[in-house]
């Protein structure tokens, strides 16, 4: 049984997240959760996933970031949750802008302190 991104954000495990773009995409259904931190993410995704990433392998140039967000939206990914702090300080502005235009949920979770894990 699938749940929406909006419903997932009510779970205790996701209480520390912040929706940073694509608020209109929160009703997309999640069929799977996938963790990927490599540069070539598209071959690993089929659509409907909530992608979790630290941004370690995410491209650094705005044009490539925008192209990836468009491609993820085209395969109907449910959304992307970036953990910021260790590898990326904040979600890149090109990602936020494109996600907002596409109504594609971008979610941010600050790095969890070790004592909470």
CATH of the domain at 46: 3.40.1390.20
In-domain check, residue 105: yes
The pLDDT profile of the chain, 117 residues, written as one tens digit per residue, is 789 999 999 998 888 888 999 989 999 999 999 999 988 889 999 999 999 999 999 999 999 999 999 999 999 999 999 998 888 888 999 999 999 999 888 888 876 545 434
The predicted pLDDT at position 14 comes to: 87
Q: Count structural domains, the chain.
A: 1
Q: Which of 12, 17, 16, 80 is nearest to 48 (CA)?
A: 80
Q: Do the Cβ atoms of 4 and 29 come closer than 8 Å?
A: yes
What residues make up the domain containing 97? 3-110
- pTM to 2 decimal places: 0.86
The predicted pLDDT at position 6 comes to: 93
Cα–Cα distance measured from residue 91 to residue 88, given in angstroms and rounded to the nearest whole number: 7
DSSP-based three-state secondary structure for 19: strand
């Amino acid at each position: 049984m699938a749940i929406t991104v909006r419903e997932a954000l009510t779970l205790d495990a996701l209480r520390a997240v912040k929706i940073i773009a694509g608020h209109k995409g929160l009703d997309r259904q999640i069929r799977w959760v996938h963790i990927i931190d490599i540069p070539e993410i598209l071959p690993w995704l089929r659509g409907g996933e909530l992608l979790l990433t630290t941004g370690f392998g995410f491209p650094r140039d705005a044009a490539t970031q925008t192209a990836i967000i468009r491609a993820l939206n085209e395969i109907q990914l449910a959304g992307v949750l970036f953990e910021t702090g260790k590898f990326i300080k904040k979600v890149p502005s090109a990602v936020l802008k494109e996600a907002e235009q596409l109504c594609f949920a971008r979610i941010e979770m600050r790095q969890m302190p070790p004592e909470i894990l």
